[in-house]
């Protein structure tokens, strides 16, 4: 289920969710009308109020979780670009031919990471890119070892910035893969469907419908759900993490 939320665009899920909510509300209306014909009284309004209150809490909770993950990914971009920039500075202070080799690898490394963030890639393409990144990091390690053997006076800063670069890569990858748990999203959907069914049941029993207000509520729920799911899909959608730090870094490297 978690893979579906990640693979299908957020707006498609939101539109389907809207039709499901309308259907749940309509089923609730028909059920309420049936209860009214049988002379059965309305289910306690407290159940409807409690379900709507729970739905509001779940919407706020899931939105907050998705937004915090989005902020983490934005921070990781800054940390990643800073770590590459620091290592590039240390590389620029080395003697030839290590200096040129390190600079070239770092340019390719930063360009690859930027392209990965700007393009939507499949899991197979991501695995291939991660393999290329690992090869570049191994090449950097070998060049750092060569610089140390040549007696570079900044061996410690050079080694530390390399460690920061690899650590930033691991942290950014973890942030990208840190999505909303599928069980929480499923719980949100279930609460919304149940709430709309209870609202429809009340409309059916009382005979008083607020079609405009109900459709407005459904629209609001689906909009919040759409934004939440869009935040949960860092590789697609409207809300994307800005790659300006990496773009400015690449411009400076040229």
Question: What are the pLDDT tens digits along the chain (254 aa)?
Answer: 445 666 788 999 999 999 999 999 999 988 888 877 776 665 556 777 788 899 999 999 999 999 999 999 999 999 999 999 999 999 999 999 999 999 999 999 999 999 988 887 778 888 999 999 999 999 999 999 999 998 889 999 999 999 999 999 999 999 988 889 989 999 999 999 999 998 888 888 777 777 788 899 999 999 999 999 999 988 787 888 999 999 999 998 87
Residue 23 vs residues 114, 175, 200, 233, 236: alpha-carbon distances, Å = 43, 37, 10, 27, 29
Do the Cβ atoms of 194 and 20 come closer than 8 Å?
Answer: no
The token pair at 250 is: 């690449």
Cβ contacts of 125 within 8 Å, gap of 6 or more: none
pLDDT for position 70: 93
pLDDT for position 226: 95
pLDDT for position 6: 64
pLDDT for position 43: 57
Nearest alpha carbon to residue 42 among 196, 194, 200: 200
The position carrying tokens 């407290």 is 46
């Amino acid at each position: 289920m978690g893979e579906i939320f990640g693979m299908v665009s957020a707006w498609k899920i939101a539109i389907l969710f809207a039709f499901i909510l309308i259907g749940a509300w309509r089923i609730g209306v028909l059920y309420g009308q049936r209860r009214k014909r049988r002379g059965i009284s309305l289910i306690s309004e407290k159940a409807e109020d409690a379900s709507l209150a729970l739905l509001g809490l779940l919407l706020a909770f899931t939105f907050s979780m998705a937004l915090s993950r989005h902020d983490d990914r934005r921070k990781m971009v800054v940390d990643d670009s800073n770590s590459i920039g620091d290592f590039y500075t240390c590389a620029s202070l080395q003697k030839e031919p290590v200096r040129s080799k390190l600079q070239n690898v770092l340019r390719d490394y930063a360009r690859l990471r930027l392209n990965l963030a700007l393009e939507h890639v499949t899991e197979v393409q991501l695995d291939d890119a991660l393999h290329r990144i690992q090869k570049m990091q191994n090449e950097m390690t070998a060049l750092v070892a060569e610089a140390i053997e040549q007696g570079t006076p900044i061996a410690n800063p050079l080694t530390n910035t390399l460690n920061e670069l690899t650590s930033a890569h691991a942290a950014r990858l973890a942030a990208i893969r840190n999505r909303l748990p599928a069980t929480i999203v499923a719980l949100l959907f279930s609460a919304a469907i149940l709430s709309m069914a209870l609202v429809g049941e009340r409309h059916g029993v009382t005979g008083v419908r607020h079609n405009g207000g109900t459709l407005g509520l459904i629209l609001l729920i689906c909009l919040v759900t759409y934004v939440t799911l869009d935040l949960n899909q860092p590789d697609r959608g409207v809300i994307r993490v800005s790659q300006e730090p990496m773009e400015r870094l690449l411009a400076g490297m040229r």
